[in-house]
Structure 1
Amino acid sequence: MIKFFRHIRKSLLEQNKMGKYFKYAIGEIILVVIGILIALQINNWNENRKERTIELSYLKRLTVDLEENKILWKETLNRKKKQLAAAHVFLNFRFSKNQDTVAKILPYFQALGNWKDININQVTFNEMVSSGNLNIISNDSIKIKLLDLDKLYKAILNNQEALKVEHRNLLHEQIMKIINTSNAFVTDPNQKSVLKREFSKEEMSIYFDEFQKDLITLINDKEFINGVVGIPYNAQLQFISFREASDKVNELISLIEKEINSN
């Protein structure tokens, strides 16, 4: 093709047709420029297509993380509701005139005393932030909501860290200090296969009585009951933040799925 253009230019020069030569030369330049522009356009289109492919991959991974967190907030809210219900049972028993019925609060003991960290899945989001790829998200609404959700997550985790310290100091440490858990272990039918001997009914009754005495001592312990009282005080603010996180997650999932389907 280049040889062909050269041949035309040479022929025009030899025929001394300078006017036509210059017109042809200008036309050739215009064709070259148009070719370059087309090439650049194709290159930009390919780059945009590659970037969009990466963006869609991130969006799909974000959806997986958000779906996992959707379950997390539902489970966390349910767990905290059970802990609140257990705290109410313990507080009612604390002010009961008859503390001989301590066995009634045993089913609520685990819900009250157990602690589980909130493990939020932010793997994809954190990867995008650390790699500088957050700006690859072309939908500004999605980007803004991701940042807003991350801010809420950090606030929740900071609050949970403070509550974890309170739970450990007031509840867990007092339980470990006052309760002789081996007495409960003996009376737990689920642990029967672990122990290598049989216990008589009289022995079982003695162990259970000792456990009940410890439990009454625990319930009337100032530090422990302060920890129990703190659960209802903190619950409502926790419930609000958990529900807000759940709503934001659902909203983001819907927005991201719409963006993916628009491709």
Structure 2
Amino acid sequence: MLKFFRKIRHKLLADLPASKGGNRVTRYLVYALGEILLVVIGILIALQINTWNEERKISKERNQFMQSIKEDLIADTLSLQETLGKWNIQLADLNAFKQQVNTTKNIDSLIFLVRYEFSPYFSSFSGFNDNTYRSMLNTGKLSILHPELRKVLQAHYNQQLDTKEWHVNQIELYQTVVRTYTDQFPMNIDAKFISNQALEDIVWKDINPKQLILVLNSWGTRKSFYYQSHIPRFEARLEETVFILETHFNK
């Protein structure tokens, strides 16, 4: 390209009228202006090439981040579906146990039921897959995304963070209630330290029925709330994740 402009400049010099062509000052000025023009053109071309290369680099990086975020969102949908499935099953089991408790005829029947059927277990959520987003946020790379998508993802991951913190808090509250139970009554689990039937009989023989009912009610209420509050909240996160995938990543 520069050679082309240089040839034009030489031709212009050659075509100067004889009266002007012999004027060294005029020829020098034309030559100097031509040289300046060539330099300016060269700079503009270099800048344009650099801009193209930078845009291509950003586009490639954007596509890589988009693919990684898409994989994170897909992983979230699978994890949420699995966890919600477990919670619904566990809630059904809890309701069945509740029905048994509320149809016992006497305290001995209740003690037997609680002693052998009580289950403190629950499924917690493993966590959201937000590594790509957090990495982009920490490195300032979010700016390469389309403004609309960036706004959607910021709201989405902020919701995830709030849900995660709330979930951790609910687990701590539930574990506190379980500890209150286990501090007073043995649990029928494989991991228990004392498995001697005679020793357990001593504990269950002398329990305070009123205290058992109070602690059992506190535990059941907390566990029921755990599922009834978690399921709709996490269903909302699932619906939101699926919507983002379908709207912004499956085009």
Q: Same fold (TM over 0.5)?
A: yes
TM-score by length of 2: 0.73
- Given residue 242 of structure 1, which amino acid in structure 2 is its aligned partner? F
* Deviation, structure 1 residue 169: 1.3
Partner of 1:82: 89
Task: Number of aligned residue pairs: give it.
Answer: 239
Instruction: Say whether residues 1:65 and 2:57 are aligned partners.
Output: no
Partner of 1:250: 242
Provide closer, same or farther for how the CA distance between residues 252 and 218 of structure 1 changes in structure 2, counting only shifts above 3 A. Answer: farther
Partner of 2:46: 39
Partner of 2:142: 134
Unaligned runs of 5+ in 2: none
Greater CA drift, 27-36 or 148-157: 27-36
Q: 1:121 aligns to what SS in structure 2?
A: coil
Q: Is this contact kept in 2: 1:63–1:256, CA < 8 A?
A: no
Aligned Cα root-mean-square deviation (Å): 4.2
1:58-116 CA distances to partner (integer Å, 9 max, x unpaired)?
11111111111111111121222123222212222221134749998999855x52342
Greater CA drift, 163-172 or 123-132: 163-172
> After TM superposition, what 4+ stretches of structure 1 lie above 3 angstroms from structure 2?
1-14, 17-32, 97-110, 217-221, 231-237
* Deviation, structure 1 residue 256: 4.1
Q: Is this contact kept in 2: 1:179–1:218, CA < 8 A?
A: no
* Deviation, structure 1 residue 46: 0.2
1:143-186 CA distances to partner (integer Å, 9 max, x unpaired)?
112111111112211221221112111125524641253xx649
Q: 2:104 aligns to what SS in structure 1?
A: coil
Greater CA drift, 88-97 or 59-68: 88-97
Q: For residues 226 and 169 of structure 2, what CA distance do their matches in structure 1 show?
A: 11
The equivalent position to 1:120 in structure 2, one of 111, 118, 128, is 128
Unaligned runs of 5+ in 1: 187-202
TM-score by length of 1: 0.71
The equivalent position to 2:172 in structure 1, one of 154, 162, 165, is 165
* Deviation, structure 1 residue 48: 0.8
Q: Is this contact kept in 1: 2:76–2:128, CA < 8 A?
A: yes
Q: Is this contact kept in 2: 1:69–1:249, CA < 8 A?
A: yes
The equivalent position to 1:227 in structure 2, one of 214, 219, 230, is 219
Q: For residues 255 and 156 of structure 1, what CA distance do their matches in structure 2 show?
A: 22
Q: 2:51 aligns to what SS in structure 1?
A: helix
